[in-house]
Amino acid sequence: MNIAAAVNENFANYSNYLIRSAMFVYALAFLAHLAEWVFGGRSKIAVQSAALTAEAQAEQAAAEAAQQKAAQQVTVKTAGGSTVTLERPTVVTRASASDRGIADGPGAAGGNEKGDLYGRIAVSFTVLAWILHASGVAFRAASVQRAPWGNMYEFSTTFGAVAVGAYLVLLALKKDVRWIGLFLTTSVLLDLGLALSVLYTSSEQLVPALHSYWLWIHVSCAIISGAIFYLAAVGTLLFLFRDHYEVAVTAGRASEGRWGDIMRRLPAAATLDKFAYRMNALVFPLWTFTIIAGAIWAQAAWGRYWGWDPKETWAFITWVAYACYLHARATAGWKGRKAAYLALIAFGCFLFNYYGVNIFVSGKHSYAGV
């Protein structure tokens, strides 16, 4: 069979046009999100919060303390008939090591009418861009009648589509995650730009080792895992910035200006920390299955389950790093920033497994096409 004849060039061209069109609409979404953050930073919420005087804050804190004290007092009758007022011991519980009792900022889900309008426009553009993006991936698959992730170009385009799809699913579930939008559209634009300019590979059939139904199972699980790991990494990185800002707030050194406006709009550090942890914990079993599925495929393709190929090795290193992160979250001394640094190291391992191993290291998984 003539391999070249098996490639539908028209579908391949449609895919390229759709991916480029998606990039244009993602750029519009990025600009709308940028406008949302600029105008949303002038929200009534932020202005009112900044306008509270120290005297008003002190009065509010004193009133709350008096109410708590009254609620904690109990009256006990002694043996002599007299009464004594005792206080219950105060127990303070925190949702996480970073929970300072600071409320979430307006985030990217409103703030004022103008900021919210730009945010809604940005989400609409993101939905349209994702439809074009996903259609481009589908046409790429149709052009060769196989899974559209046989090389780094196809993996990159599919990865971006899955990441945006996961974000839109969270929005559809009424999760307040619009703060991810600006960072997501920025990274997806970079991802697609790199795919088209550096990683691009023409539609073609695969090497014999990849002709297996495990291509659909193993690689699709890897893409979904990576997309969720990415969303968690964004939350982790923003957690570190917001946590630093909250430390300054509690010490009376809160920064003003545009940087302070951005930090005030983000969710609280505890919220970001919880989001990142939940995303990583949610997808870690799928990443575990990804490695197991790869080993089964390796046995079918190469006659062995594990051969310490660079891709296998770094997939395992990534698994260990995320396992350490999840274990650290259950250990009192490794919550907060320490665990966040470990999560970013784990995501760095995933990125190296994807880019570094495919481009710079030779092995049985060298199907990058670049």
- Virtual CA dihedral for 135, 27, 33, 176, nearest 10 degrees? 20
Mean pLDDT of 343-351: 95
Q: Pick 108 or 171 by higher pLDDT.
A: 171
Per-residue confidence band for 43, with pLDDT thresholds at 50, 70 and 90:
very low
Q: Pick 305 or 70 by higher pLDDT.
A: 305
Percentage of residues of the chain with pLDDT beyond 90: 43
Using the predicted structure, report yes or no on whether residue 63 has a pLDDT greater than 80.
no
Mean pLDDT of 69-74: 59
Using the predicted structure, report yes or no on whether residue 50 has a pLDDT greater than 50.
no
Q: Pick 195 or 43 by higher pLDDT.
A: 195
| 219's tokens | 């690689």
147: region left, alpha or beta (phi > 0 left; psi from -120 to 50 alpha): beta
Question: Looking at residue 247, what is its pLDDT?
Answer: 84
Cα 229 to Cα 163: distance, rounded to the nearest angstrom: 9
134-148 residue pLDDT tens: 999 999 999 988 888
84-134 residue pLDDT tens: 565 655 544 444 555 555 666 665 555 556 668 888 999 999 999 999 999
> Are 269 and 275 in contact, with CB atoms under 8 Å apart?
no
Q: Mean pLDDT in the chain? A: 81
Mean pLDDT of 197-209: 80
> Are 74 and 85 in contact, with CB atoms under 8 Å apart?
yes
Do the domain assignments include residue 257? Answer: yes
Do the domain assignments include residue 238? Answer: yes
Question: Looking at residue 87, what is its pLDDT?
Answer: 61
Do the domain assignments include residue 20? Answer: yes
217-256 residue pLDDT tens: 999 999 999 999 999 999 999 999 998 888 887 777 766 6
Q: Which residue has the tokens 């979250």?
A: 329
Do the domain assignments include residue 349? Answer: yes
Do the domain assignments include residue 319? Answer: yes
Q: Pick 28 or 270 by higher pLDDT.
A: 28
- 352: helix, strand or coil: helix
Do the domain assignments include residue 242? Answer: yes
- 348: helix, strand or coil: helix
Do the domain assignments include residue 89? Answer: no
Which region among 52-56, 162-166, 361-365 has the lowest average model confidence (pLDDT)?
52-56
Domain count, the chain: 1
Question: Looking at residue 305, what is its pLDDT?
Answer: 85
Per-residue confidence band for 185, with pLDDT thresholds at 50, 70 and 90:
very high
Using the predicted structure, report yes or no on whether residue 79 has a pLDDT greater than 70.
no
Cα 98 to Cα 277: distance, rounded to the nearest angstrom: 13
Residue 103: which domain range?
4-48+96-360
Mean pLDDT of 17-37: 95
Per-residue confidence band for 307, with pLDDT thresholds at 50, 70 and 90:
confident
Question: Looking at residue 54, what is its pLDDT?
Answer: 36
Do the domain assignments include residue 75? Answer: no
Question: Looking at residue 20, what is its pLDDT?
Answer: 96
